[in-house]
Each structure stands twice: as structure tokens, then as C-alpha cells.
Amino acid sequence: MSFDFLIDIASDDDTAYAFLQERHCIRHATPKCIFCDRVMTWVKTGRGRDLTWRCPEHKSRKVRARSGSFWQNSQLSYSKLLQLAFFWSHSIQNKTCEEFTGLQNKTVIQWYQYFRNVCSHYLIQNPIMIGGPGVNVELDVPLMAKKRYNKGHLVPERRVFGGVCPDTQEGFLVLVPDSEATTLLPLIQEHVHPGSIIHTDGSASYKSISKMNVEPPYIHHTDNPDDPIKDVCINYVENYLTKAKNKFKTMCGIQGNFVDSYLDEFQWRERFGNTGMDAFNNLLLHISQWYPTP
């Protein structure tokens, strides 16, 4: 992690704003007044001295620089926002981020969740598809957490449906309520290309799917066309799921209502976060795509 880079881009608000402009994460076109069509001028207003455009004629007409952007509802400085994005991208834990930024715990938690929302939005817009005609795909649906009591409350079990293509090392993860065929089939159709050779542990759910005569065919096994599910070693998907589970353990547990977003973050990082800087650059890219600014 390069703190020198962070210092260079977030040393002050003007520098941080210029960097966000360069990455198309905030408005870079000068607005015009809606009353007189004059080009607005650059001023700093408010207690936080926020960067704002103001009409030289109609001085009450102002446009905040962050209006319409991912950051529009935040009162934090641009330098603090960049610091948060940088630390999240580098998987810096909340406590350490608090110490470096001087921000409260609840603020760090909230912004880390906002960044996970970026991951979720990207995956919704670009669903993960693996496999292809004649390409092997491994599927599994293990328990990620068993049902238990915690401080007098029942914590439900968490089951995750996962798939991996060994050839490309690409995978997907989806939180599911059960492992019934009717639950898994739509997810196979959503995430596995037709014609893929699917390998499983041979459970009853997969056997049921093989009898549903799904068109186009998603499961093939040329050796035995009557039993297209091939029960073989599924080490790749088991390793993928274990990697995700271990990631969650380092976070000291996850609240149930946030599990989906953490799964999305894991999948997003697998594709776009090979390094902390990769994650940072891609986070800003996907923010700019989600919130395009003039």
C-alpha cells in the first residue's frame, strides 16, 4: 500500500477534488445559471467551505460541486472521502481506518457499506456467467454458518450456492434459503452458460434438476445421457467457498442483513481487486459509471 500516493491525491480538498474530476467521479463541467444562462463562478461556501458554483448575477443560485455524484449527500471533505475509498480498497479494517482518518466508527462502517453497494450494483448490471459449451463447471451449496443461539437470539443458518469454472478460475456465490432443485435451477440458468458440463457432489437436488428437461440444456454428460450430472471431485468450488468463508472470519462475523453485500464484495474483488490499487482504481471507475456526472 502506497501512502505516498494517498498523500499526493488527498493532501487537501482542492487536490482531492481535482483527482475525482480526473476520474469522472464528480462534476467537471462548469454549470450555467438556469435563470440567466450565465456561466457560474467557482466559490467556497458554508462552514466546511464546500466547493460550489454560484451565479455572478443571481447569487442565491448555487450548485454544489458534489451534486448528482456518488458523494452528494455527504458532508465529509473530499480528502476524507478519498481516504475512505483508499483504505476500503486496500482491505484496511475499520479500527485502523478510524485511527488514520480521525473519523468515527459509525462513519467508517457506513462508507465501507456504501463501497460494497458499488460492488453489488456492478454485479447486478453485469451478472457473472461461467462455463460454456463443453466447459467444466463445479457447483456446490454448503452451509456457511450453522443455526445457533447468540445472546438469546436464534441465528439462522446461512447456505451459499457457488460455482467455479476450473479453466478460467471464475466463480459466483449466491445466498440461498435452501438447496432445493427449484431454488438452484434459476441460479444455474442465470450464472452458467448453456452446454456447460456440470460437476456436483451428486446430491438429490442436482439429480432432480437433471430430470427437468431444461431447454436450452445446461447440463451435459456424453458418457451417460440419461444421467447428465457427473459426480466427480469438486475441489475448485470447495476451495473457492472456503476462501470466501475465511475472508468473512477475518471480519469477526457478519450481520445477517449484510451477508449479500459481503458476498458481492468478495466476488467483485476476485475480478477487480487483485491488488489494493486495482481495487481502488476499479472502485472509482465503477462509481463513475453508476453516477455519471457532467
Domain boundaries, the chain: 136-258
Q: Which region, left, alpha or beta, applies to residue 169 given φ > 0 means left and ψ of -120 to 50 means alpha? A: left
Residue spans of beta strands (DSSP E) within 34-77: 41-45, 50-54, 62-64
β-bridge partners, 164? 138, 171
Domain 136-258, CATH number (from 1.10.1200, 3.30.410, 3.30.420, 1.10.287): 3.30.420
Q: What is the DSSP letter of 255?
A: -
What is the distance between the alpha carbons of residues 119 and 237, in angstroms, rounded to a whole number? 21
**Which residue is it, cell 448528482?**
68
**Which residue is it, cell 481516504?**
83
CA 179 centroid distance within chain: 24
What backbone torsions phi and psi does residue 74 show, to the nearest 5 degrees? Answer: -95, 145
Q: Per-residue pLDDT for the chain (294 aa), expressed as one digit of tens each? A: 678 999 999 999 889 999 999 999 998 888 888 889 888 887 876 655 577 888 888 887 888 888 899 999 999 999 999 999 999 999 999 999 999 999 999 999 999 999 999 999 999 999 999 999 989 999 998 876 555 555 555 556 778 999 999 999 999 999 998 888 889 999 999 999 988 888 887 776 777 776 665 555 555 443 344 444 444 557 889 899 888 888 776 654 555 567 889 999 999 999 999 999 999 999 999 999 999 998
